[in-house]
Structure 1
Amino acid sequence: MSFQFSHKILIHITKKSQIIFGSFRPLSTKIHNINLGTNHFQTTKRLPQINTIFSKYLASSTHDTISSIQLKKRAVRKKKSLEEESPIPGVFHVMAFATAEEYDLENLNKGLKEQDLYESHQIPNDNNVIRAIAKYRVEKEPREIFFFRDGGVILWNITDLESGNILRFLRQYEIDSYSERLIQSESEIMNYIYNKDTEKPSGLDKEGNFLINTCSEVEDLPLIKYTFSNSMLQSVKLGIWEASLQQYIDQIEGITDDLKKGKKIRLSREEVLRKHGELFALRHYLNLSSDILDTPDFYWENEKLENLYNHVCVYFGITKRTRVMNEKINHCVALIELLSHHLGDKHHIRLEWMIIILIMVEVGFEIIHYIDRYVH
């Protein structure tokens, strides 16, 4: 009875495993023959910093032949540079840097008071920014700084030497700092000029310079600079996330190539899960933790500033870059989910084989007992 029962179980499990293997083989064939086309970025945490889980994997991947589909590398947006232009009277520059995920603004404000080089001011109805004005003037045009809680600093009429000192000063108040190389590569530099023509409101001129209308009320001038600064902040933060995603795409380039060639996927389920988490973290930063997808609440009560903010965001291509970045994240998520399902199926098949082997061992013992009992 015991032998017959075990024999029936063996037949049942064998049939079940054949069904599973039958469904697994087409899946494996399908995976190995997928030709994954990838959309890639036009412009730029670390995921904030992307880790190097795939470094060993990429090192072992072979690239003897050129792929029929060459990955398009992220093109760097053309940006203005201080070295490109000689100083022009009446033309000043503003620089934007994203140096961390977040600033400790409260302690930063205390540090500014202790340093006693800048006089700090609050922006009305916004506790997430500090406006600092240099106490000692070098020229008629004041030197102003906007520190945003989101980890960005905007420097108006600040020299390279002074900007370097400010960035070093900021390090002690940063939360999740970016690398120096990333900070410099994703910075923005713009020129700004003053205009007294009442028919030309503050905005952008044909050359792409910030135009500040001095005919505005005195209390509006800091808010105009704040609006320009806010727009630049969105651009540099988006640039940091674009660079992080591009680094992620470069890391998984070898995986797509190996999938196309039908090679073995040498990744653990834990590594794939971790990469999945990085993508969702980046998507969270982009779509939920920032104001990139919507106009900040600050501008709801001031239509002129809202129009100015939206106009500058259009100049930096914020909406288009965000849409492209979300599309790229979707493609990466699809690839990681494919790997996750593939590795999950392999795990299930391994468990089935273990069950079959255990049952075969049990059947073997039953055969030995049967022979020992009835033959002898």
Structure 2
Amino acid sequence: MLLRTMWCRLGTPQCLRSTYFHPNLSNLTKQPPQTNTVPSRCFSRSRCLDTHQCTPVQVASPQFQRPKLRQYSTNIATFKPNLKVAAVPGKRIPKGPRTKQPSRTNQPFQAADQMMQCIAFATADQYHLPTLCHDLVSQGFNEVELPRDASNVLLISTDLAAKPDDIAMMFFFREGSVVFWNVEEKTMKKAMRLLEQHEIQPYEVALVHWENEEINYSIGEGNTKLQRGNFVLNSEMDPDEAVLERFAFSNALCLSVKLAIWEVALDNFVESIQPIPEMLKSGKRVKLSRADVMQKIGELFALRHCINLSSDLLITPDFYWDRENLEQLYEKTCLFLSINRRVKVVNEKLQHCTELADLMRNHLSEKHSLRLEWMIVMFELARVIF
């Protein structure tokens, strides 16, 4: 009774007193809700923000309700993020640039009409050059003879040049790469369509156009060189020697684009085995069969074979042994494209993946041995009992 009197003196309305001190609380839910005006200075559930001017507020009665928190209006129906990505039918678009393109900053400014384009693509594991040469010649292209020790390359020339300052050439390397020099876009697309019929294990179209190398070049005075990311060809060079210089540049570009394709393949392999270390770390059971582990090991060794054994990434080709000037152009281009450093990084990743694959193989071998031991024990027990 004393508490009720003190509460009334504080200014609480009769509706609130009846709410908290009703003798029969079970009947409160049956009473219809009432509203009473409560001054904001009262010790009620509503607080006045301005103590000098108390504004009456409406309080529901008799049921007690929690004070509602501030709610922010979020109209989800009107929020439509733009996540459209141009898709190629039947092809998976790469998530992003997988290889780091060489820095081409601080390049000397040259007029656009003086620069021509050299672009390289890697489209397949290998090309069948004899049939490719036959189809290209039948379509009006011209074959250019190369030295005998350059037997793995097909050189094609055409009169349809992008700019009249230089002739148009196409280098087709048997390892699955092609380099276009001053070739107009329409002719380039035509050659690529013909090339599709002679590819062995072709790559995805989106990946081919994503991982390419494009370098501008010009023809000027002085020795042929690589100057701040651009090729500068000697205008007074003998035509046969000029072709070999382009061949040296093209050879380095082909190595770069092929390495870019293998870097993407390695990244995909790393993503496929990424959950395994997390499972081992958390103590979960690794759900991989022996066939899955052997398949992963096979993919790993196939990639390692392509990079370190079947390519010229680790050594300089024999073609440059008695051609020192061409060897310098080749090595400078490889240095500019960071080929040696990229090969080192790839091999370190391959070594880590190999260790993880060996760990999984040993784990499966131990599980198999343990299963055999239990089978032997159960067999012996059954023989003793029965």
Per the normalisation by structure 2, the TM-score is 0.71
Q: State the partner residue of 1:337.
A: 358
- 1:154/1:233 contact within 8 Å kept: yes
Aligned residue in 1 for 2:301: 280
* Matching of residue 203 in structure 1 with residue 225 in structure 2: yes
In structure 1, the residue matched to 2:207 is: 182
The corresponding residue for 1:299 is 320
Aligned to 2:382: 361
Q: Number of residues paired by the alignment? A: 285
What amino acid is aligned across from residue 175 of structure 1 in structure 2?
I
1:160 and 1:218 map into 2 onto residues whose CA distance is: 25
How far residue 351 of structure 1 moved from its aligned partner, in angstroms, is 0.6
Instruction: Identify which of 219, 233, 248 aligns with 1:212.
Output: 233
Counterparts of 1:236-255 in structure 2 under 5 Å? 236-255=257-276
Give the Cα–Cα distance (whole angstroms) in 2 for the partners of residues 359 and 74 of structure 1. 60
Deviation per CA, 1:307-343: give whole Å up to 9, x if none.
Answer: 1100100000111111111110000000010010001
Q: Which of the residues 248, 269, 285 maps onto 1:227?
A: 248
The residue identity in structure 2 corresponding to 1:134 is T
SS at match of 2:238: coil
**C-alpha contact (below 8 Å) 1:122/1:129 kept by paired residues:** no
Residue 158 of structure 1: aligned partner: 183
Aligned to 2:169: 144
Q: 1:326 to 1:80 in 2, by over 3 A?
A: closer
Partner residue, 1:109: 133
Distance 2:131 2:97 in 1: 37
Q: Is the 8 A contact 1:145 1:153 kept in 2?
A: yes
CA distance 1:108–1:271, shift in 2 (3 Å): same
Between Structure 1 and Structure 2, which shows a larger proportion of helix residues? 1
The structure with higher relative contact order (CA 8 Å, sep 6+) is 1
Distance 2:355 2:161 in 1: 55
* 1:268 paired to 2:292: no
Residue 100 of structure 2: aligned partner: 77
| Structure 1 segments (4+ residues) deviating >6 Å | none
In structure 1, C-alpha distance between the alignment counterparts of 2:355 and 2:123, rounded to whole Å: 31
The answer to whether the 8 A contact 1:146-1:229 is kept is yes
Alpha carbons 1:92, 1:192 under 8 Å: kept? yes
The answer to whether the Cα contact below 8 Å between 1:194 and 1:213 also exists between their aligned partners in 2 is yes
Secondary structure of 2:361's partner?
Answer: helix
Q: Is residue 212–residue 257 contact of structure 2 (8 Å, CA) maintained in 1?
A: yes
Match of 1:131 among 135, 152, 155: 155
Cα pair 2:153 2:174 within 8 Å, conserved: yes
Partner of 1:34: none
User: Structure 2 unaligned runs (5+)?
Assistant: 1-95
Amino acid at match of 1:333: T
Structure with higher Rg: it is 2
Unpaired segments of 5 or more residues in structure 1? 1-72, 366-376
Q: Say which of 344, 361, 367 aligns to 1:323.
A: 344
Q: Which amino acid aligns with 1:296?
A: P
Q: In the alignment, does 2:375 pair up with 1:351? A: no
Q: In structure 2, what is the Cα distance between the partners aligned to 1:224 and 1:204?
A: 11
Contact between 2:160 and 2:184, CA under 8 Å: does it hold in 1?
Answer: no
C-alpha displacement of 1:80: 9.1
Identity, % of aligned positions? 38
How many Å separate the matches in 1 of 2:382 and 2:295? 38
On the 8 A contact 1:109/1:120 being kept in 2, the answer is yes
In structure 2, what residue type is equivalent to 1:101? D
Change (3 A) 1:194 1:138: closer
- Quote the Cα distance in structure 1 between the aligned partners of 2:333 and 2:281: 43
Deviation of the 1:185 alpha carbon: 1.3
